Amino acid sequence: MSAGAATSPFAEDQDTFWHTTTHIMAQAVCRLFPNTRYAIGPTIDEGFYYDFDVVRNFLPEDMAKIEEEMKKIVEENHTVEHMSWTKGEALEFFEKHGQAFKAELIRDLPGSEVSIYRQGEFTDLCRGPHLKRTGLVRHFKLLTFAGAYWRANEKGPRLQRIYGISYQDKKNLLEFVRRREEAEKRDHRRLGVELDLFGMDETLGGGLVLYHPKGSAMRMVIEDFLKRAHRKLGYQYIFSPHMANANLWKISGHYENYKENMYFTQIEEQEFGIKPMNCPFHIQVYRSHLRSYRELPIRYFELGTVYRFERSGVLHGLLRVRGFTQDDAHIFCREEQLTGEIEGVLDFVQSVLNLFGFSYTVGVGTRPEKFMGDPELWDRATAALRSALDAKKIQHEIHAGDGAFYGPKIDVALKDALGRSWQGPTIQVDFNLPQRFGLEYVSDDGSRKTPVMIHRAILGSLERFIGCLIEHYAGDFPVWLSPIQVRVIPVSAEAAGAFPAEVMDGLRARDIRADVDEREESLGKRIRAAELEKIPVVAVIGNREAQARSVNVRRRGKKDQEVLSLTDFVEQICREAMVPDGAINP
């Protein structure tokens, strides 16, 4: 129930409220656009939507017209009547009124009866529940128009979708609108263009990212940090190819269980699969030698770029792509080492997320309906995950059936500055792939045993993580993470002479990411440009500063300025630019 529901005069939950509002919206659309065919109108995590087949495309000005008609329906205060019809009665009604989508749904429903709701002249197939009267819905807002396909089939009819939100308390609606406006300001797709971080040109193909120099600079900071942190924690860095013979994917089980998400090609009459995951390659490195129990655990790490098929309709900036890089690692260990290794990964996750300023929640995904291997091994793997979480006193929820096809997993969801959740680190325990690939080690008694494998990613997809970072910080990154850390602005070439070049040399010699703005624009305009580009530090140099070998330092978001000698300025920036990775300890 929403925060506003506690003070509501009726004991209905938010889902019920949204169900009723989406029917009010559909009723309004049908009034304004005769012969509309209405499809489905479910509730979602925040609000609701309804899909329509309308004679023309919705226009921006239609939003206000639909809202006004919804207000009339609320004022008319129709009774919402719930009925149970036979499938025959329902088919006859909806076919008579030209509602082919509803008729198709009814034919596919099990049983002999269906649930129907009616308010005024509007009748709909719906499981409900609903409020008793339309007059109980007072505070609502329509949000966006979007395209959709009937039953998510790209070959099916194309529909128009309207998203909306409603609350029982006006304060909750206003707070939602405020958060939505803030989210739009932080949208990484918009900021990615404005700050010149990355591009996603359809010429490349949907879901493929092209990092521009500024975005690449930020990504390199993250990658360099990850490499240092993994070395400190005993991981060995490896590289693997981008594709492999289909036989590898058949052994791993991906061909059978994951093929619909992969890309395949034919080379010299052999089938090759573009890699969707790195694990089979890391397994091949392990099995290149016979291992001793004394070598375990062995930890391999790779910044591995993978490719997975995603439908075009679900692609979303950096957050949902087809090609992405994982900070992927696989730990091969003895079963008695398993819980301790998981605890070490949990410590790593906690340190990294604290560094980037994220809070988080944790869930455990258990055996799905489609899985490989022995259920008893799954139970042991799940027990190890939960034991490690309990040992670290980390609260977690059980997500039944949400494991990977080869093993259960810990999923960590990041919480950003607006309280939104994003998929983040994962830790998966796998008894199955080591068995399928015949992995062994020589135990202390000389016998051959099979190691356990931990799949883990700390950031997950770098693309998704960078998208989250952009929205979390609204593009206003701390100095150590900022693509450009310092902008040098000479007041004029004549006044500053050669000193700006000397400042730039001093900064770059200490690996500070700096540039210079020498355009023939006013000083104020160039300072304003640096603000808009969210550059954290601006160093202004005029005749006075050049003569004193100093810089006038301005910091983003602060009115105060300070004058520092070149030496002091460079040392100060170096301290601020240092990646704070001291928390990562072996």
C-alpha dist (Å) from residue 166 to 48, 140, 462, 512 = 9, 4, 35, 49
Query: Can 326 be counted among the known catalytic residues?
Result: yes
* Residue 347, pLDDT score: 94
Say whether pLDDT at 495 is over 90.
no
Same domain, 408 and 535: no
| Mean pLDDT score, 315-329 | 92
Q: Dihedral, CA atoms, 195, 196, 198, 200, nearest 10 degrees?
A: 110
Say whether pLDDT at 391 is over 90.
yes
Report the percentage of the chain scoring pLDDT > 90: 77
Q: Say if 326 falls within a structural domain.
A: yes
* Residue 171, pLDDT score: 92
**Of residues 456, 512, 524, the one with CA closest to residue 226:** 456
Say whether pLDDT at 511 is over 60.
yes
Q: Say if 65 falls within a structural domain.
A: yes
Same domain, 468 and 491: no
Please, are residues 53 and 37 in contact by the beta-carbon 8 Å criterion? yes
Q: Say if 155 falls within a structural domain.
A: yes
**Which range marks the domain in which residue 572 is found?**
486-577
Quickly count: other Cβ atoms within 10 Å of residue 315's Cβ. Answer: 15
Same domain, 360 and 500: no
Question: Which CATH number do you get for residue 319?
Answer: 3.30.930.10
CA–CA dist 98, 100 (Å, integer): 6
Say whether pLDDT at 259 is over 50.
yes
For 204-230, the pLDDT digits (tens) are 888 999 999 999 999 999 999 999 999
Name the amino acid, one letter, at 478: P
| Mean pLDDT score, 232-255 | 94
Q: Which of 168, 186, 204 is the last residue of a domain?
A: 186
Burial class (CB in 10 A: 0-12, 13-18, 19+), 284: middle
Same domain, 61 and 174: yes
- The answer to whether the Cα torsion of 260, 266, 271, 276 is positive or negative is negative
* Residue 583, pLDDT score: 57
* Residue 1, pLDDT score: 27
For 412-438, the pLDDT digits (tens) are 998 877 778 888 899 999 999 999 999
Query: Can 330 be counted among the known catalytic residues?
Result: yes
Same domain, 40 and 181: yes
Query: Can 468 be counted among the known catalytic residues?
Result: no
Question: What's the structural domain count of the chain?
Answer: 3
- Beta-sheet strand order (sheet of 291-292): 291-292, 441-442, 448-449
* Residue 9, pLDDT score: 36
Same domain, 295 and 168: no
Say whether pLDDT at 115 is over 90.
yes
Please, are residues 83 and 128 in contact by the beta-carbon 8 Å criterion? no
**Identified catalytic residue from 19, 308, 322, 487:** 308
Name the amino acid, one letter, at 468: C
Query: Can 279 be counted among the known catalytic residues?
Result: yes
Same domain, 428 and 462: yes
Query: Can 308 be counted among the known catalytic residues?
Result: yes
**Of residues 564, 568, 544, 566, the one with CA closest to residue 554:** 564
Q: Say if 347 falls within a structural domain.
A: yes
CA–CA dist 418, 175 (Å, integer): 12
Residue written as tokens 């949990």? 346
If phi > 0 it is left, if psi is from -120 to 50 it is alpha, else beta; for residue 423 that is: beta
**Identified catalytic residue from 37, 102, 188, 330:** 330
Q: Which of 235-249, 367-381, 428-442, 572-586 has the lowest mean pLDDT?
A: 572-586
Same domain, 453 and 492: no
* Residue 582, pLDDT score: 59
* Residue 584, pLDDT score: 66
Across the chain, mean pLDDT equals 91
For 59-75, the pLDDT digits (tens) are 999 999 999 999 999 99
Q: Say if 19 falls within a structural domain.
A: yes
472-510 as b/e, with b when 16 or more CB fall inside 10 Å? bbbbbbebbbbbbbbbbbbbeeeebeebbeebbebbeee
Under the banding of pLDDT at 50, 70 and 90, the label for residue 369 is confident
Query: Can 350 be counted among the known catalytic residues?
Result: no
Q: Say if 191 falls within a structural domain.
A: no
* Residue 2, pLDDT score: 30
**Identified catalytic residue from 53, 126, 161, 279:** 279
C-alpha dist (Å) from residue 304 to 316, 460, 463 = 21, 11, 12
**Identified catalytic residue from 51, 53, 328, 411:** 328
Say whether pLDDT at 446 is over 50.
yes
Same domain, 34 and 81: yes
Say whether pLDDT at 48 is over 50.
yes
Same domain, 298 and 418: yes
* Residue 249, pLDDT score: 93
Under the banding of pLDDT at 50, 70 and 90, the label for residue 586 is low
**Identified catalytic residue from 23, 282, 455, 472:** 455
Say whether pLDDT at 8 is over 50.
no
* Residue 202, pLDDT score: 82
Please, are residues 467 and 452 in contact by the beta-carbon 8 Å criterion? no
Q: Which of 162, 186, 210 is the last residue of a domain?
A: 186
* Residue 153, pLDDT score: 82
Question: Which CATH number do you get for residue 497?
Answer: 3.40.50.800
Alpha-helix runs per DSSP H in 364-509: 375-391, 432-436, 462-473, 493-496, 499-509
Same domain, 325 and 445: yes
Q: Say if 337 falls within a structural domain.
A: yes
Same domain, 354 and 445: yes
Q: Say if 206 falls within a structural domain.
A: no
- Distance from chain centroid for Cα 571: 37
* Residue 345, pLDDT score: 95
For 514-558, the pLDDT digits (tens) are 999 999 899 999 999 999 999 999 999 999 999 999 999 999 988
**Of residues 137, 158, 155, the one with CA closest to residue 146:** 158
Question: Which CATH number do you get for residue 54?
Answer: 3.30.980.10
Under the banding of pLDDT at 50, 70 and 90, the label for residue 581 is low
**Identified catalytic residue from 254, 409, 472, 534:** 409
Query: Can 15 be counted among the known catalytic residues?
Result: no
User: What helix, strand, coil percent values describe the chain, rounded to 5?
Assistant: 40, 30, 30
CA–CA dist 129, 106 (Å, integer): 18
Say whether pLDDT at 98 is over 80.
yes
* Residue 11, pLDDT score: 39
Residue written as tokens 């009665």? 89
* Residue 5, pLDDT score: 33
